[in-house]
Structure 1
Amino acid sequence: MKVSSYFRKPLFKWIVAAIVFLIAVYGIAGFFVVPGIIGDKAQQFVSGKFQRKLEFEKISLNPFTLTATFDGMRLTEPGCEDDFASFDSLMVDLSSQSLFRMAPVIEEIRLVNPRVHLVRSARNHYNVDDFIAFAAEPKEDDSPARFSINNIQVENAVIEFDDFPQNKHHVVDELNVSIPFVSTIPSQVDIFVDLAINGRFNQEKIELTGKARPFFKDKDGTVNIRLDKINLPAYAGYLPVKPDFDLKDGKLSIDMEVGFGQRAEGQQGLTLEGNVVLESLLLAEPDGKPVLKIPEMTVRIAHSDVLSGKFDIGQVLLKGPEVYLDRNRAGQWNVERVARFSPADNTGKNHVGAAADASAGKKDSRPFSVSLGKLFVENGELRVSDQIHVVPADFSVRNFALDVDGIVLDVAEKNVTVDRMVSAGTEVRFVHGKLKFQENGKPTRKTVQKAANEIGERTGFGFRVGRFELNDWAVHFENHDAGKPVVTKVDGLTVALDNLSSDDKEPVQLSVKANVNQKGTIAIGGSMNLSPFGTDLDLDIRDVDVRFVQPYIEDFVNLSLKQAELTVKGKFHLAQAKTGMKGQFAGDAGISRLTTVDQLSRQPFVSWKVLSLKGIRADLAPLSVVVDQVRLNDLMARVILSSQGRLNLQDILRSESGGRKSLTESEEKNMVLNAGSSISSRIPENEGVAKKKGRPDYSIQIKKWWIGNGKIRFSDNFIKPRYTANLVDLRGTVSGLTTNPDKQAVVDVKGRVNGAPLVIAGSVNPLSERLSLDIRANVKGMELAQFSAYSGKYIGYGIDKGKLSFDVAYKVENDQLSAENALVLDQLTLGEKVDSESAVNLPVQLALSLLKDRNGVIDINLPIGGSLNDPEFSVGGIIFKVFVNLIQKAVTAPFSLLASIVGDTEELSWVAFDPGSYTLSESGQRKLETLARALEDRPGLRLEIAGKADPDADSTGLGKKMMMKKIREMKARRSGQDIGSQQVTVSDEEYPDLLKRLYGSEDFDKPKNWIGFSKSMPVADMEKLLSQHFAGKKDDLIRLANRRAQAVKDWLIEKGNISEERLFLLAGGLRKTEGTESGNRVDFSLK
């Protein structure tokens, strides 16, 4: 059969016609019917399921090319006309292979200008909640549908997100998505699907590329994420917790490859590799004060398996980081304040803290480790402001650089290891005033230890650093507490630590070198253990300025350092023991160019050129120091010995009771003596102090101390008024200086005091709490004119000339003091009278005349003694009392003083005569001999002589004398002799008869007998009556007194060799006998 005839058959025509019809129907349905049905069904589904309105401007379907185009789609929000989503067009090209694959195979999908508007209306409520709920509904068949989609393209998409709780509006625009292929068909699931997404997120560029096999058994793939300078503050509100700091600025850039997949064993896999760059980071407190600035930080992450807990960071680079630490007056640091978190507004309950608490203390069984190949810090800065101190402290670090190699963090093993840490060229600056520390200003080792233990218990981590280095650091200390800033500059600081570890079994090797203030050097080397803490160090410190320690010792001493340079060379060992910290030092030390002042008066206290200590052996607990040799050159010091025998050097350290005490202000009491005051009222009030008995709880021994070219301004308050002297050119030794109260140091020092030679020798224990001394000091020929102002204040006269030599000896044993104060004043000549309230109210000129010998020398010895424990005992008071008594004795009993000077005890102020006589007796002549010797040795004294007559005894004596004269005259007449009555002698046999004749011849009332005649009387009665009859009258008594005075004067001139110019007669007078003091005598007074 021919083909043409076959086509002409009716059956064929019917078949063709049917096919044409079907094609026509297929075309009409595809072009005109199906698009409407699709649109209606879609609208009905969306409206019924989601209460949203779905609209299309046009739906086009080409049944022959199997392409569909949806134009002008618009989807509204539920129950309103607001747009939720829209696009300009969506083109879907279905492949004819779908028939053979028995699954949809799409050649191409292209979506143009889609727009989506997402809204978060409240916490956990979005405008897509209905879609999410629909997607979460359980499906009858969870197996993935078979499909193959190729050439997926999204062009110029826009996603807007309004976050009303955060009051934020986010926009993703210019979004383009390209996915070449995705399929669940078994023969294609092992083919990688490539992904390319790019666009902008809030004006910042984003880019994601990658490949994956989402339906392959491993579901593996990679995604390359590129984010360019994302503005972090815009997203701080989406943190799960709300921090107490403000993220002021920060740009995040990410170039990261994220790998993912599922292994055959069902384990998930997630890897990271790439770079993270953080720029312009600024964290601040709520008030705007900065806490952290990071201009740039780059983190280079090597291939890291996240879910396996293994992070490998190749390098971290920090450029110019700035850290600001600030502590307020409440003692809280800003990092503590900003590290607190509270629930964020966009979350429910804050579970972060609870989760952390629940997991605390539990060891994570999952392995987790971080290794860091390199850490670089360039040009870092740290600034610290501490407001807790009286004057805020400022601490800053500049140009901080850090290079760290080989960091490994193993969380499972709780261990951190670092191969090497190096920091170079950093500058540190610390400026502060008065510092305030915890525990009443006294930081303790227990406080530091407790803090360290708490950190260890809290973290539980161990660490090890192979080598830690600081190279060429510079540290600037500046203290403003003392007014003028004290500046200490440390440069060239090099620190090296080897094997720094939390393992206490391995010691740390330590090396420190530095220059201090361009002159001093520090070199420390050795080993150190962290737990328990201990060190074995070699110290070599030379000429280091230590003025910086003054603010830290200010409250414990009474002096201030103006200059001091420390040198130490030796071995230092320190170890923590159960009973406390133990330590030893062996070596040499010294302080040179020292200058100190009194904290209160700001007057110079102690300075020297060199203080060198050789052969030191010191223990910390209990404190014990032994020094073989000490050399002190060019000393200048203010030394004061108190009225209790305490040196001001013992008050350098403040007492436990606290309070400052002047080291340079000497004791001065009011020494004004009123005319009518008693001696006891003139003695300075005792300043007794309680003395601590027994041995101290420390031990100090200095075997030999050499002193050269010393200068000391010394005030001795043992003597009141106080004595001050300038001691120069001091040289000598002190041997065996110790705190042992049973031993004394031997002193042998020579020098000059106020220009005169000085020698000090003896023994003393000034370091002992219980004073013991046996010291003798002497000075020869000190000029006194230089003390004219001093003498004018206390004795009321200046000094024109004179020299002083003294020899003093003090001995204190068992709190009993005995002292000798021998003073020799040569040619002391007082000047003009000086008005002074402190001057003694005594005739000083007279006293000096009494004390001066013929050569103009005054030699005085003032011995004292007493118990230092007696609250009424005052060394200065006793010496002053002895001195004042000496002056008073010169006034009230000058002749007793003269007698004691010439070695006699007899009273020389008067000479007695027999009643009625002016002839010197033998005893009277002996007195005059003693008085003459004293006057001869004191040519400056003048003697006044006053004769006295007793109205009773001398009157009777004159009468008896007249009676004897008449008896002698009567005998001379009877014998016819022509001689004076004084040459007539009357024998005992003759006397009664002559007396009777004289009695009868004199006319006066006589006793009568019974017949009226004169009564016969015994010899004694006749003597009495005749003596009364011839008794002298007043004129006779005055003449007798004057003749007595003349007799004494004549004797002193003729036999005593006293010049007449020094003797003065006073008018005679009457004086009755009172007690043992007779009136018939001659009185003396001195001028």
Structure 2
Amino acid sequence: MKVTQSWKSASWKGKTLVVLALLFVLYTLVGFFVVPGLVKDNARQALADLTGRDVTISEVRFNPLVLSAEVDGFAIADEQTEVLAGFDRLYVNFQLSSLFRWTWYFDEISVEGLTLRAQRNPESVFNFDDVIAHAQAQFAEGPAEPKPVGSDEDEGGLPSLAIATMTLTNGDLRYTEATGKEPHQLTLPVAFTVSNFSTVSKGEGQNDYAIRLEGPDGGVFDWNGHFEFSPFVANGRLQVQGVDLVSLARLGAEQVRFTVPSGELDVEAEYAFNAEPDAQLMVSKGQVVLRDLAIQNPAEETPSLLLPQVKVSGVAVDTLSQTVNIPEVLINQPHIRAILGSAGLDLATLFLPPDPDEAEERKQVVKEKAQQAAERIAEAETLWVLHLDALKVDGNRFEFVDRTLNPAQTVMLEEGVFTLKDLVVGEESPFSWEGAATVLGEGKLSHTGKGQLAPLSINTSASLTALPLAPLSPWLEREMPLRLAAGSLGLELNTAVEGESPDFTVTGDVAVDGLNLLENGSPLLKLNQTRIKGLSLSTANQQVGINEIALTGMDMLHRIDNQGRDASARIEAGTRPAPAAQGSESSAPWQVGIKRVRLVGSQVRHEDLSVSPNFKIGLYQLSGVVSNLSTRPGSRASLDLNAQVDRYAPFSIKGSLSPEPLFTDMNVSLKNYEMTGLTPFTGHYLGYKVEKGQLGVETEVSIENRHLDSVTDIQADQFYLGEKVPSDEAVKAPVKLGLSVLRSRSGEITLPVKMSGDLDDPSFSVSGMILKVLTNIIVKAATAPFSVLAGLAGGENLEQITFTPGSAEVGPQTLSSLDALSKVLAEKPHLNIGLVGTTNADDRTALAAQRVGDDIDGRDWTSIDVAVQDKRLRRKLIRRYESETDKEVETLVSASLPEEEEAADAILARAAWDAMVTQEAQAVTREQLVELARLRSENAKAALVQEFEVAQARVYLNESTLDGEVSGLTLTLEK
């Protein structure tokens, strides 16, 4: 009652104060007790509807007196990470003065304990994908909100907003990589401060910010600067220190095939961004430092890549001009270890995904991008231009391990230094470099170069000295049965690379010292010194040219094994087949030309182990020149070589030759070769060892149009065969006698050998032809010696000497033949002659004719031709026949007799003579014939000894032969 009365009696000022007090109390009560509950429930439900997740808000506090609000324990739930996003405390302090500033002004906005948690699952599904999809669906279903009438915001403009302080403390960003077998998590503590934030003001000291992230192992990310709106401008400084790359690498462990055992990264730079008139980001004073980075194959104990320190200084980037400038890159003591295994080079696979299908897709993508980049560089059409002032590598070490060999082999490049200057990618600009290294522990490599990338033009100079070749032998041994036992390589090369192809041009000199090449463990080739001078190679012209190849102290051993295989056949049999060439198109052949090959103090030895005893021969003190060697069709090389066969027999070869088309015109000379070395072949083909002898050969060989013609003079001095050797292949002939027939008075054997044949004829073999010709000559001399000796006898074959049938007297014709025989014996003092007295049917007839003639006319008998002219002798012939046979003589004549008596008697007398001689011939006794043959050989020997002064001991009387081919003598030769 009193209150009512008091109210009614109060003045309006009092009433106003009371109302205001009540409203203030109500405002305070609502603000403290009602608003927090409404905000908490509505905000939680709205966020739950928007995200499709459970949302938790522990407490909401609102202070209406100072217009501040606090939210505690906010979290969006996640089944995989427990919390998708959340914070411990959010504090917002709004200033009432905003009503008078026409700006939303906050004195403070701070967040404590902010956490954001992301997880990537297999198939690149993230734990927040459903939230995004749910939110997008909510927005799509809701009605579009109309823009308020009279809004102060310009279309596309920013609201007027100012915040004195924005802070984040004790925050963290958590990322979990769960695509592999085991999840890997990265947690980054984060904090930042933004001072005097304003979307409209441009006053000094406004919109400054500082962001700090701390890595799990001490790394720090500091980002501070200043930004403005309308237009947007930002500048500041970014610094990353001590970032642990091991933790970062774990996130990608399932995407690559390597691990990172160690590594630390520092990055810092200053930047400035202007949104207008054209967006431009400029980075300056950039620096990147990489320390102790190791990239390792999990299956290996040693890192594949070890970088103790990489420092990139002074990096500048301008996005508007699309340029990157790098003043200097320093790489200190890098160690690269590449391993070649059955799956290929590990460095080429470590950065690929473990899954084979994904790896193949990645390869294809990288290949396509690399091809596109190469084309842009070649055409100077790169989008960005990179300027690298200097790249320096100090203490480089490269280690190549080849495990495809057993045992595995390692090649080392150490103490490498390299400096690259003024490299520009994307513009026509020259660059240069220089470098050096130690290869295989002893070889010293140095190289320099200069050029440009667009259009491609590079010129290099390289020098390599004392590179040991023996460590490279395992790769040669894998391909073929050869081993590099010793040797060192030196190079002085200049290389030019130009054009789109590109085309390579190489010039320079090559030196190899102390080369020792083995074949299946046995000596094959030694070279004290090899010099290749004036080397030139051009891929554009497909030509290789060499001014001179100088070989000093060469020692080559060519061996034919006991299976008859030469070195080339053995090497070919032991060589791995080359992989099939890709594609079916064949390129034009390369042309190779060598102006001169010079041999000094060399030797070529040959051993044939397929014959017994083994054959050995060698060319020693080999020297000379081979000029104008070329694969160009029609070109002809010239040869002028001299040597000593087995260190004493002069040998030379001179002439010209061409491989295509095949042409040869050469003279070959050999003198005074000791033939005892030919015993393996004389034993095999002739059946005897060589007792002694010296060989000389003069040969002219011509090959043209695939046809060979050769004329060879073979001279064997004092060539005698010795002990017999068992051989199934030996000729069945008295070869010793044949050689005696061929041997001259002075002990020389001269054999002219002519050959002619078509090289395309499969039955034609030069070596086979030579052996065949020589064997035929010796066999002919042994089996038909007198045909060979006919030249000494005026062309007369003295194998048979004729006598008058029935007579042993040495007549004029016989004496002439014996004279020719004596001359042959005088020229062949080492030959003895055997005289074989022979008779034949002519001797029986002659003896029978003598007996009938004696009965008819005694010593006065001359011949039947005379007798038929004498009537008396005709009658005696007819009577003797009729009395001995008791037959009429007319029975011997079947034809009609002439009417004239004398003519008829002459026919009858001759018929009687023929019949009686035939009958008497059958009565000639063996003793008569033997005696005739003996007398003939005795009379012939007497004539040779007495009239022609042939030594009696050189003429032998052999057993007579009856019913032979000749009426006289058959001669035999004896050594």
Q: TM-score, normalised by structure 2?
A: 0.70
Distance apart, 1:410 and its partner CA:
3.0
Distance 1:526 1:593, change over 3 A: same
**Correspondence for 1:959 among 835, 848, 851:** 848
**How many corresponding residue pairs?**
846
Instruction: State whether structure 2 residue 266 is matched by structure 1 residue 282.
Output: no
Letter matched to residue 169 of structure 2:
I
Pick closer, same or farther for the CA change 1:651–1:818 going to 2, 3 Å: farther
Percent of aligned pairs with the same amino acid: 19
Give the letter aligned to residue 282 of structure 1.
A
Q: Judge conservation of contact 1:508–1:528 (CA < 8 Å) in 2.
A: yes
Structural mapping, 1:398-417, within 5 Å:
398-399=306-307, 401-417=309-325
What residue in structure 2 maps to residue 612 of structure 1? Answer: 531
- Distance in 1, matches of 2:295 and 2:652, equals 60
Change (3 A) 1:653 1:374: farther
Match of residue 527 from structure 1? 450
Change in 2 beyond 3 A, CA 1:206/1:411: closer
Q: Assess if the C-alpha contact under 8 Å between 1:523 and 1:539 holds in 2.
A: yes
Structure 1 residue 384, shift from structure 2 partner: 7.7
Residues 497 and 883 from structure 1, CA distance in 2 versus in 1: closer, same or farther, beyond 3 angstroms?
same
State which of 269, 281, 298 in structure 1 corresponds to 2:266.
298
Deviation at 1:402, TM superposition (A): 2.7
Q: Is the 8 A contact 2:166 2:195 kept in 1?
A: yes
Alignment of 1:647-662 (within 5 A): none
Change (3 A) 1:295 1:711: same
* CA apart distance, 1:895: 2.0
User: How much does 1:712 deviate?
Assistant: 0.8
For the pair 1:801 / 2:692, whether they are aligned, the reply is yes
Q: Which amino acid aligns with 2:670?
A: V
Residue 754 of structure 1 corresponds to 646
Range moving further from structure 2, 489-498 or 218-227 = 218-227
How far is 1:550 from its partner?
Answer: 7.8
Indicate whether 1:593 and 2:514 are aligned. Answer: yes
Pair 1:229-2:215 in alignment: yes
Equivalent residue, structure 1, for 2:738: 847
Distance 2:793 2:189 in 1: 121
User: Which one of 528, 538, 552 corresponds to residue 633 of structure 1?
Assistant: 552
Single out whichever of 742-751 and 999-1008 deviates more from structure 2.
999-1008
Match of 1:700 among 558, 582, 593: 593
Question: Which residue does the alignment assign to 1:887?
Answer: 778
Deviation, 1:801, is: 3.5
Is residue 728 from structure 1 mapped to residue 620 from structure 2 by the alignment?
A: yes
Q: Is the 2:735–2:779 Cα contact (8 Å) retained in structure 1? A: no
Helix, strand or coil for the counterpart of 1:1046? helix
Give the CA deviation at 1:957.
0.5
**What amino acid maps onto 1:192 in structure 2?**
A
**Where do 1:154-193 residues align within 5 Å?**
192-193=164-165
Give the stretch that moved more between structures: 866-875 or 118-127.
Answer: 118-127
Give the alignment partner of residue 583 of structure 1, picking from 502, 505, 511. Answer: 505
> Larger deviation: 810-819 or 740-749?
740-749
**741-750 or 33-42: which moved more?**
33-42
Among 918, 942, 947, the alignment partner of 2:837 is 947
Question: Counterparts of 1:124 and 1:435 in 2: how far apart (Å)?
Answer: 43
> 1:490 aligned to 2:413?
yes
Q: Distance in 1 between matches of 2:913 and 2:399?
A: 115
1:261 to partner: Cα distance: 4.3
**Alpha-carbon distance in 2 for matches of 1:145, 1:907:** 147
Q: Closer, same or farther in 2 for the Cα pair 1:1004/1:436, shift >3 Å?
A: farther
- Post-superposition CA distance 1:763-800 (Å, at most 9, x none): 1235x323333322333332233343443344333334
1:67-466 equivalences in 2 (<5 Å)? 84-86=56-58, 92=63, 104-105=65-66, 114-120=72-78, 192-193=164-165, 195=167, 197-198=169-170, 206-213=190-197, 217=201, 220-230=206-216, 253-257=220-224, 259-262=226-229, 265=230, 267=232, 269=234, 271=236, 273-275=238-240, 277-279=242-244, 280=246, 281-283=248-250, 284-286=252-254, 289-292=257-260, 295-302=263-270, 304-305=271-272, 308=275, 366-381=279-294, 396-399=304-307, 401-432=309-340, 450=371, 452-454=373-375, 456=377, 460-466=383-389
SS class of match (2:249): strand
Paired residue for 1:866?
757
* Whole-Å separation in 2 of the counterparts to 1:921 and 1:822: 41
In 1, the alpha carbon distance for the partners of 2:344 and 2:49 equals: 65
Query: What secondary structure is seen at the aligned counterpart in 2 of 1:1004?
Result: helix
Amino acid in structure 1 at the alignment position of 2:289: F
Provide the secondary structure at the position in 2 that maps to 1:709. Answer: strand
**What SS does structure 2 have at the residue aligned with 1:751?**
strand
Distance (Å, rounded) in 1 between the aligned partners of 2:374 and 2:317? 21
Paired with 1:740 and 1:216, the residues of 2 have a C-alpha distance of 83
What displacement does 1:818 show? 2.0
Q: Which runs of 5 or more structure 2 residues have no equivalent in the other structure?
A: 87-97, 129-159, 175-186, 349-366, 561-565, 580-587, 892-901
> Deviation of residue 819 (structure 1)?
1.7
SS of the equivalent of 1:957 reads: helix
Aligned-partner Cα distance in 1 for 2:274–2:199: 21
| 3-state SS of 1:466 partner | strand
Counterpart position of 1:788: 679
**Is 1:1080 paired with 2:967?**
yes
2 CA distance for matches of 1:49 and 1:987? Answer: 167
Distance 2:494 2:880 in 1: 121
What amino acid sits opposite 1:256 in the alignment? W
Distance apart, 1:278 and its partner CA: 2.4
Residue 709 of structure 1 deviates from its aligned partner by 0.9
Could you tell which deviates more after superposition, 424-433 or 476-485? 476-485
In the alignment, what sits opposite 1:913? 803
2: CA distance between counterparts of 1:871 and 1:493?
59
* Contiguous gaps of at least 5 residues in structure 1: 1-9, 53-74, 95-103, 129-140, 169-187, 231-249, 310-363, 439-445, 642-646, 661-694, 972-980, 1073-1077
Aligned residues of 2:285 and 2:314 also touching (Cα < 8 A): yes
Tell me: CA distance 1:712–1:461, structure 2 relative to 1, closer, same or farther (3 Å): same
One-letter amino acid of the structure 2 residue matched with residue 405 of structure 1? S
- The answer for the alignment partner of 1:346 in structure 2 is none
CA distance in 2, matches of 1:990, 1:266: 161
CA distance in 2 between counterparts of 1:936 and 1:447 reads 94
Q: CA deviation at 1:1064?
A: 4.7
2:363 maps to none
1:970 and 1:994 in contact (8 A); partners too: no
Deviation at 1:698, TM superposition (A): 2.4
Aligned partner letter, 2:516: T
State the Cα deviation string for residues 507-565 of structure 1 (Å, max 9, x = none): 22233333434544334334323233333444544444467888999999997755554
Richer in helix (by share) = 2
Distance 1:1067 1:833, change over 3 A: closer
What secondary structure does 1:1042 align onto? helix
Distance 1:830 1:216 in 2: 122
Do the aligned partners of 2:75 and 2:83 also contact (CA within 8 Å) in 1? Answer: no
Change in CA separation of 1:790 and 1:215 when aligned onto 2, cut-off 3 Å? closer
Root-mean-square deviation (Å): 5.9
Q: How far 1:728 sits from its partner (Å)?
A: 0.8
2:884 match? 1004
SS at match of 1:907: coil
Q: Is the 8 A contact 2:325 2:386 kept in 1?
A: yes
CA, structure 1 residues 127+376, in 2 after alignment: closer, same or farther (shift >3 Å)?
Answer: closer
Look up the equivalent residue of 1:947 and give its one-letter code: G
Deviation of the 1:752 alpha carbon: 1.3
d(CA) in 1 for partners of 2:103, 2:372: 65
Instruction: Give 1:731 shift.
Output: 2.3
Distance 2:370 2:36 in 1: 74
* Residues in 2 aligned to 1:954 and 1:210: alpha-carbon distance in whole angstroms: 150
Structure 1 counterpart of 2:819, from 904, 918, 929: 929
